[in-house]
A and B are shown apart, each in its own frame.
Chain A
Amino acid sequence: MSAIDSPATRRRGGRTSLMAARGAEKTPRLSTINYAIKPVEAVSADQLERIHLASLAILREIGIDFRDETALRQWREVGADVRGERVHLEPDMIMGLISKAPRSFELRSRDPDQRVTISQETLTFGTMQGAPNVRDVNGVRRSSTMEDLRDVNRLTQMLPGFHVAGGFTCEPTDIAVPWRHLHINRSSLVETNLPYFGLTTGQQRAEDSIAMARIAYGEEFMKSNAVIIGQISGNSPLVWDATMLEGLRVYAEANQVVLLSPFVLGAANTPADVAATAAQLNAEALAGLAYTQLAVPGTKMIYGQYSVSVSMRSGAPMSGMPEVSLLNVLVGQLARRYGIPWRTTASQSSAKTFDPQSGYESAIAYMSGATAKSNLFLHAGGWDEAGLVCCLAKFVADAEQNLLIAKYAQGVSFDHFDDALEAIRRIGPGGHYLGDAFTLKRFKEAFISPELLDYLSYEQWKAKGSKDMAQRCREKAKATLESYEPPQIDVAVREELDAFVAKRQNEISPSLA
């Protein structure tokens, strides 16, 4: 042995201790992931400038619709050229507003130790959103219910690979639409203690979301801390709707985070051209981001985008395509130019089941986001069937992939470089490192060892029941749900949330009961 292995602490207690230690070994929840890789770039600085200038020209010459009276009034007040709903914006005004955005901010959790920084140098994972169906732990596809949403929130809480709960990961279709947002928020707050996505579809739903967050976190706390994100979707081409802008203002005024996502269906609502699609997407994003800073200067915001290309055979959205990967890289380059953290769509697939297509599309989406240095990986949990199904098997597989991507993003460490070089001297030509003291010390941290991907020999795999990835993941999802431990929440807070839901249901429409 060498100096690495100090005799004073050699005894580890043999089998009993190791079994107990390995049994209790639990991968800790991801904390802030700091990038240490250099991002790939798809275009030169000159080409990037062409896209940027094209976006500004679109906003000045074509203009963008803000279908919202308040927003139009606010634009007029600062001297923008407003013609009906069409707003024409000068480059200086846009860039001046955008410069007011914070470059870095924190998301807080009910666990005081769990703080996540969002900036251009960090990486954050959130689950999928908006599926009307689930593929459950038995592999059955059906309309999702409140209990399914509670289950995905339970998985989010238990699996270490998520920073942010999706909020409306799947739709509780068994709850009447006017009441639904109340129950979605309640589940985010009760089943998880993570920062989460609230509802943004209209003034009232946004206000209810903020009110419920304040019950759990306290109004005072939320004045200076962000705990909830509002997802504001654009209506491409070149439209921001009243519904979304109302939601945006509610979140911004409450000092919470907004994520502005133009919605790109490449070649359907953008030109059939990657660079021009980026220019349009960027124009939409810039207008939304600038408006956010006009409405509430200093608002914490994330440059969003949802990008897929469209199959000209059927009109269906396609993920994992090379054009989408290139768009990711372009948006990354643009967002860095503006100094604003940006979001990618991490794990998306159009596959109907958790099959090889699902794996390929998702893996490409993951890696394109990571190499482009995206700061929020949204939909990094469960997304199949172009977002129409939340697959619980894929949910747990994605949670594991998040750990792998996090490792990749953190780049190459030189912390042990010299010790490792010494090992090369020790072993020399023709030997092996498996029994070397350095390997023994470092193997667990140096190379990640996933649980759900299978690396058994054929014989071992067969002996363990010849299970494919989907089956292993269904079993993992089931076991995780069985071992679910709810996060701490004060009984009084829980009762207040329940009372709020009951009161608001009654105010909205008591007859739905």
Chain B
Amino acid sequence: MSDEQIFLSELSDDELVQQMHDDLYDGLKEEIEEGTHILLERGWAPYKVLTEALVEGMRIVGEDFRDGILFVPEVLLSANAMKAGMFILRPLLAATGAPKQGKMVIGTVKGDIHDIGKNLVGMMMEGAGFDVIDLGINNAVEKYMAALEEHQPDIIGMSALLTTTMPYMKVVIDTMKEKGIRDDYVVLVGGAPLNEEFGKAVGADAYCRDAAVAVETAKDFMKRRHNTRSDR
């Protein structure tokens, strides 16, 4: 494969989309940028490029990560290529009023500075087409609240590595309840010492055991939100 030259512009639409799935899989940023431009030039709607070329490609990546075929560094490379495609599409999507994948505010909770897992989730979410606002580490409830107000996300993600800091997730969720905004957001929690029971106990919508699950769960919630919205 690698020794034969492929000219993306000479491929049919179907072939090009297939090639972009492969290129995403191989984490090829420049090739994804080129493919995205070609599809747009051929008159594809930005939303169609996003869903059929990029999101579908990343779905395959996510599946193979979950099944232990792809490794973390490879997935991050794919996510990076996806982000490059998104960078081109984002202003066009906004201009055309296309439905969004969703927006997420994410951060580690107060007292916790361990952010590898959170970063991984952030990159995977971006790779899946989400807008991610990363609040970084050691976030007090006020910071989460300010971010919700400023960015109006669909999802809030909280992460902790320590058993001593993970109860703080409940503080954030309780504050959301007090303000009457809890149900406006999907709350996802994660981190090594957490489990499903803990997620339920603090009042989160879901516990996500790893980055791949976080993306699947987020997509699933977004589908339901879109459904409820269109029902309105």
A→B interface (CB under 8 Å) = 1, 7, 9-19, 22, 432, 434-436, 439-440, 443-444, 457-460
Contacts and interface: CB of A to CB of B under 8 A. Distances in A.
Q: Interface of chain B, helix or strand or loop or mixed? A: helix
Contacts of B79: 435
Given A13-B22, A15-B64, 9 more contacts: A11-B6, A14-B22, A15-B22, A17-B1, A19-B64, A434-B76, A439-B73, A440-B74, A440-B77
A18 B69 contact: yes
Q: Which of B22, B30, B116 has the most CB of A within 10 A?
A: B22
B190 to A, nearest CB: 11
Contacts of B21: 14-15
Contacts of A434: 72-73, 76, 116, 119-120
Nearest to A459: B209
B217 interface: no
Contacts of A457: 209-210
A25 B30 CA distance: 29
A472 B100 CA distance: 44
B25 A14 contact: yes
A435 B80 CA distance: 9
A18 B31 CA distance: 18
B107 to A, nearest CB: 14
A440 B119 CA distance: 17
A436 B76 CA distance: 9
Contacts of A19: 64, 69
Interface in B50-106: 60, 64, 69-74, 76-77, 79-80
Contact of A15 (B2, B28, B60, B120): B60
B65 to A, nearest CB: 12
B31 A10 contact: yes
Given A15-B60, A459-B209, A435 B2 contact: no
B72 A18 contact: no
B23 interface: yes
Contact of A13 (B1, B71, B115): B1
B15 interface: no
Contacts of B123: 435
6 nearest A-B pairs in the assembled complex, by CB-CB distance: A14-B22, A435-B76, A13-B1, A14-B25, A440-B73, A12-B26
B72 A15 contact: no
A79 B74 CA distance: 71
Contacts of A18: 25-26, 64, 69-70
Nearest to A436: B73
Contacts of B120: 434
B29 interface: yes
16 contacts: A1-B29, A11-B6, A11-B26, A11-B31, A14-B26, A16-B22, A22-B69, A432-B116, A435-B77, A435-B79, A440-B27, A443-B73, A457-B209, A458-B195, A459-B209, A460-B209
Contacts of B1: 11-13, 17
A11 B29 contact: no
Contacts of A436: 73
B138 to A, nearest CB: 12
A434 B119 CA distance: 10
A9 to B, nearest CB: 5
B38 to A, nearest CB: 16
A19 B60 CA distance: 12
A364 B30 CA distance: 51
B206 to A, nearest CB: 12
A12 B2 contact: yes
Contacts of B2: 9-13
A423 to B, nearest CB: 12
A443 B71 contact: yes
B81 to A, nearest CB: 11
A10 to B, nearest CB: 5
Contacts of A12: 1-2, 26
Contacts of B80: 435
A14 B18 CA distance: 9
A433 B92 CA distance: 32
A432 B19 CA distance: 30
A444 B28 CA distance: 19
B28 A10 contact: yes
Contacts of A15: 21-22, 25, 60, 64
Nearest to A16: B22
Contacts of B210: 457
B125 to A, nearest CB: 14
Interface in B152-169: none
Contacts of A435: 73, 76-77, 79-80, 123
B178 to A, nearest CB: 31
A273 B26 CA distance: 61
A477 to B, nearest CB: 21
A443 B30 CA distance: 23
Contacts of B77: 435, 440
A460 B212 CA distance: 12
Contacts of B3: 9
B163 to A, nearest CB: 15
A10 B73 contact: no
B72 A11 contact: no
B15 to A, nearest CB: 13
Contact of B26 (A10, A439, A443, A460): A10
B23 A11 contact: yes
A460 B70 CA distance: 16
